[in-house]
Amino acid sequence: MQSLILTTTTRLLAALLLMFSVYALLRGHNLPGGGFIGGLIGATAFILYTIATSEIEARRALRVGPSNIAVVGLGIAGLAGLSAGLAGEPFFTGQWLFLFAEDGGKGLPLSTVLVFDIGVYLAVFGGILTLVFALEEEI
């Protein structure tokens, strides 16, 4: 099922979807979105690419094994939770750093919560792609 039009447009579409997935991830704390949704969108991008080209192509584009991504995601999420221990607080207490914060505003917030959400993103993204690639490969 190699269609030139599909392949070409998919490259563009997949790139857009991936970008959008990161956008959804980052805005998630304040607007609809977040790690789960971002991860799902990102996975969809690669699945689309797989359908348009092949599973091997998609793996090459991804560079890293999806199961590794999933496990690394778990690790990041776990570390984000553990980091609260450095501040002497219970497991999974969010730690915040507000850069350039002015009176009343919150500036550029950086937090372990965001790191945790990135872990969620990677775990979902990697988990789903592991499944799809494995099934695709077998068939």
Partner 1 sequence: MADDYPKVDRVMGGPAGWISIAFPAVLFLYFLGLLPQIVTGPQVHGIDWVPSLGIRLSVLLDGLSMTFALLITGIGTAVTLYSARYLGQHPDYPRFVCYLLMFMVGMLGLVLADNMISLFVFWEVTTIASYLLIGFNADSAKSRRSALQALLLTGTGGLVMLGGMIILGNVAGTFELSQILEMGDMVRAHPWYMGILLLFLAGAFTKSAQVPFHFWLPNAMAAPTPVSAYLHSATMVKAGVYLMARMNPALGSTEAWFWILTIFGGITAVLASVMALRQTDIKQTLAYTTLMALGSLTMFIGAGTHYAIVAAMTFLVVHSLYKAALFLMIGIVDHATGTRDATMLRGLRKAMPLTGLAAALAAVSMAGIPPMVGFVGKEFMYKAGLGLDGFGAIWVTAMIFAASAMMFVTGGIVALKPFAGDLAETPTPAHEGPWPMLAGPLVLGGLSLFFGLVPGVLGHYLVGPATHAVEGEVHEVHLYLWGGVNTALILSLLTFLAGWLLYRSHESIRARLIAFEARSPIDFDAGWDRLLDGFKAVAGWQTRLIQTGSLQRYMAVTFASFVVLVGGTYLVKGAFGAGLGLTTASVHPVQWTVLALIAVGSILVVWTHSRMTAVAAMGVVGIGVSLIFIMFSAPDVAITQLLVEVLVVVLVSLAMLRLPYLPRRSKASFRPGHALIAGGVGVVTTFLTISVLGSPFDRRLTTFFEAASYPEAHGRNIVNVILVDFRALDTFGEITVVAMAALAALALLRGTAPRKEEN
Partner 2 sequence: MELLLAITIGIVVATSVYLMLDRNALRFLFGLVLLSNAVNLIIFAGGRLTVGAPPLIPDGAYAPVGVVANALPQALVLTAIVIGFGLLAFTLALVYRTFMTLGTVNSDEMRIAEPRDKRELDTGRLGMGKADPEHPATGQEAGI
How far apart are CB 121 and partner 2 at their closest, in Å? 12
The token duo for 70 is 């999933």
**Which residues, numbered 82-111, are part of the site for partner 1 (CB under 8 A)?**
91-92, 94, 96, 106, 109, 111
State in angstroms the smallest separation of the CB of 102 from partner 2: 15
Count of other CB atoms within 10 angstroms of residue 14: 22
Q: Return the one option of partner 1, partner 2, none that residue 23 interacts with (CB less than 5 to 8 A, by type).
A: none
CB of 131 to partner 2, least distance (A): 5
CA nearest neighbour of 96 among 25, 29, 20? 29
Nearer to partner 2, 63 or 138 (CB): 138
Tell me the angle at which helices 35-52 and 4-27 cross, rounded to the nearest 10 degrees.
Answer: 170
List residues near partner 2 by CB under 8 A.
30-32, 36, 40, 124, 127-128, 131, 134-135, 138
**Rounded least distance, CB 36 to partner 2, Å:** 6
For residue 126, the surrounding DSSP H or E stretch is helix 112-138
- Report H helices in 28-65: 35-52, 55-62
